[in-house]
Amino acid sequence: MRRGMFMEEEIISNHLTREEWSQGATFEDLITFIKSSHREHTALIDERLESAFTRLNEKLDSISSFTRDLDLRVANIASSIKREEGATRKSGNQSKESSCSSYHS
Give me the pLDDT at residue 5, please.
45
Q: Which residue has the higher pLDDT, 105 or 45?
A: 45
Residues 63-100 pLDDT 10s: 999 999 999 999 999 999 988 888 777 776 666 555 55
Give me the pLDDT at residue 4, please.
47
The single-letter DSSP state of residue 15 is: S
Residue 58: pLDDT band with limits 50, 70, 90:
very high
Instruction: Tell me how far apart the alpha carbons of residues 21 and 105 are, in angstroms, rounded to a whole number.
Output: 115
Cβ 48 vs Cβ 4: under 8 Å: yes
Q: What is the mean pLDDT of the chain?
A: 78
